[in-house]
Amino acid sequence: MRKKYVLVGTGGRALQMYAKPIASTYADCAQMVGVCDINPLRAEALKHLSSLDCPSYQNFDQMLVETKPDAAIITTVDRYHDEYAVKCLNSGIDVILEKPMAINAEKCKAILDAEKKSGKKVIVTFNYRFTPYVTAIKQAIKDGAIGKILNVDFEYILDTKHGADYFRRWHRKKENSGGLLVHKSTHHFDLINWWIDDEPAEVMAFGTRRFYTSDKQPHGERCMTCNCNGTCEFYLDIKEDPVNDELYFRCESADGYHRDGCIFSDDIDIEDTMSVNVRYAGGVMLSYSLIAHSPYEGFKASINGTDGRLELAEYHSGERASESAYIFDVYDRQGCKTSHHILKSSGGHGGGDEKLRRMIFRGDLPDPLGHMASTYSGAISILIGIAANKSIATGKNVLISDMVDLNKYHAVPANR
């Protein structure tokens, strides 16, 4: 019997990650019985682009009553994740929740409490865990390659194609996304938490917007109507890409949302340059940085332990992005280096999307390393970013325990 799903939020992630695969690869075990969006044109566009045959709704509650789903897939603007997740849990429906789990501590607690009370399950979709490279690093650490973890240095760099895109869309407002330290960094904080198997205790951070600033050059409301569209290196033709054209441009009349906002607008309030220090409960220290304006994209990291050091890097654009494998090096206390070459996988997010989908919809893969993430994992990743935002705003260090009592939720597992 096929499991019944509904989808709320019909943007690009919903289309590529869920709608298309459910209509094709997983049609034998999964059925989409309804899609919901406040923009009815976009809901219809998603169904057309994915070949889904199901009703569309503007009223989420009506969809739940009429379709009686087994689980809901939530891919809305981040600020609404808690609203829909709590409604589903209170209605006895499991939840598949896109990252970040929530954008502030209150919303985080609401989801945790609703899950605990309802006895239903929430899966937080950390696809990055499933990539072969980061999985190999997790296995090496678990096998004791560098002993007990002491500290981590992690630098993530977004290039000006990817990074600028956050400043065009709804992500540009913290009230929608929590800023990049929540929306984007939740991936990175989750990886680190998962690798070291520890939880954050205290955070200190700095952040500013220094690159995508309103004094950068003359600018308009959006690329399409801007006088600089022939000279600006960040110009985006929203109609050039067929998916953006159908899913966004042709749907603007319903809600006024445009996906090509000027990245130099005065009303942007998220940072593009951030630095975070974290003290973990077990004593590990993390130094983390994120910029959204690099010439190339990827991350560089080092993990130091009692028995050695692990150095790693990924390149997603630039001259090294074409390499066939990612490498991580392990140095022991005698100065010897062991290099590990992990072949790259194809598919979304380095193959992570497909492995995550298979775990969600078929559940036929073993999970000895705990790839599937619970709300607890979702919470401790976003709470670093939420605490960092608070630290940036106040200039003070922030204790995680002052925001959420994590001891209440330790018993919530990833898979029940």
Is 49 strand, coil or helix? helix
Q: Could you tell me which of 256, 207, 306 has the C-alpha nearest to residue 41?
A: 256
Mind listing the pLDDT tens digit for each residue in 40-76?
999 999 999 999 999 999 999 999 999 999 999 999 9
- What pLDDT is stored for residue 216 in this prediction? 74
Q: Could you tell me which of 258, 249, 272 has the C-alpha nearest to residue 164?
A: 272
The C-alpha atoms of residue 40 and residue 329 are separated, in whole angstroms, by 50
Please calculate the CA angle 179-115-101 and round it to the nearest 5 degrees. 15
Longest dimension (CA), the chain: 66
- Report residue 218's pLDDT band, with 50, 70 and 90 as the boundaries: low
- What pLDDT is stored for residue 414 in this prediction? 40
CB 252 within 8 A of CB 258: yes
Is 67 strand, coil or helix? helix
- What pLDDT is stored for residue 411 in this prediction? 47
Q: Could you tell me which of 75, 50, 52, 182 has the C-alpha nearest to residue 125?
A: 75
Total-model pTM: 0.95
CB 360 within 8 A of CB 111: no
- What pLDDT is stored for residue 170 in this prediction? 97
CB 339 within 8 A of CB 329: yes
Burial (CB count <10 Å: 0-12, 13-18, 19+), residue 206: middle
- In DSSP terms, 338 is beta-bridged to 330
- In one letter, which amino acid is 299? F
Average pLDDT over the chain, rounded to an integer? 95
Extended strands (E) in 223-336: 273-280, 285-294, 298-305, 308-315, 325-332
- What pLDDT is stored for residue 324 in this prediction? 94
- Helix (H), strand (E) counts: the chain: 15, 15
Q: Residue 305: which region, alpha, beta or left (left: phi > 0; alpha: psi -120 to 50)?
A: beta
Mind listing the pLDDT tens digit for each residue in 91-138?
999 999 999 999 999 999 999 999 999 999 999 999 999 999 999 999
Q: Could you tell me which of 266, 170, 167, 164 has the C-alpha nearest to residue 214?
A: 266
The C-alpha atoms of residue 127 and residue 108 are separated, in whole angstroms, by 20
Look up residue 407 and give its DSSP letter: G
- What pLDDT is stored for residue 99 in this prediction? 96
Average pLDDT over residues 357-383: 95
The C-alpha atoms of residue 102 and residue 104 are separated, in whole angstroms, by 6
- In DSSP terms, 236 is beta-bridged to none
Average pLDDT over residues 187-193: 97
Mind listing the pLDDT tens digit for each residue in 329-347?
999 999 899 999 999 988 8
- In DSSP terms, 36 is beta-bridged to 8, 57
- What pLDDT is stored for residue 415 in this prediction? 36
Mind listing the pLDDT tens digit for each residue in 240-289?
999 999 999 999 999 999 999 999 999 999 999 999 999 999 999 999 99
Please calculate the CA angle 239-241-243 and round it to the nearest 5 degrees. 100
Query: If you search the block for the tokens 């019997």, which residue do you land on?
Result: 1
* The 308-315 sheet, strands edge to edge: 337-343, 325-332, 308-315, 298-305, 149-159, 285-294, 273-280, 200-208, 398-399
Residue 229 has pLDDT above 80, yes or no: no
Task: Kindly list the distances between the CA atom of residue 297 and the CA atoms of 20, 157, 254, 264, in Å, as whole numbers in the listed order.
Answer: 27, 5, 35, 21
The C-alpha atoms of residue 403 and residue 386 are separated, in whole angstroms, by 9
- What pLDDT is stored for residue 345 in this prediction? 87
What the block records as the tokens of 280 is: 């973990």
- In DSSP terms, 151 is beta-bridged to 285, 304
The C-alpha atoms of residue 373 and residue 130 are separated, in whole angstroms, by 11
Please calculate the CA angle 379-184-97 and round it to the nearest 5 degrees. 50
Mind listing the pLDDT tens digit for each residue in 151-186?
999 999 999 999 999 999 999 999 999 999 999 999
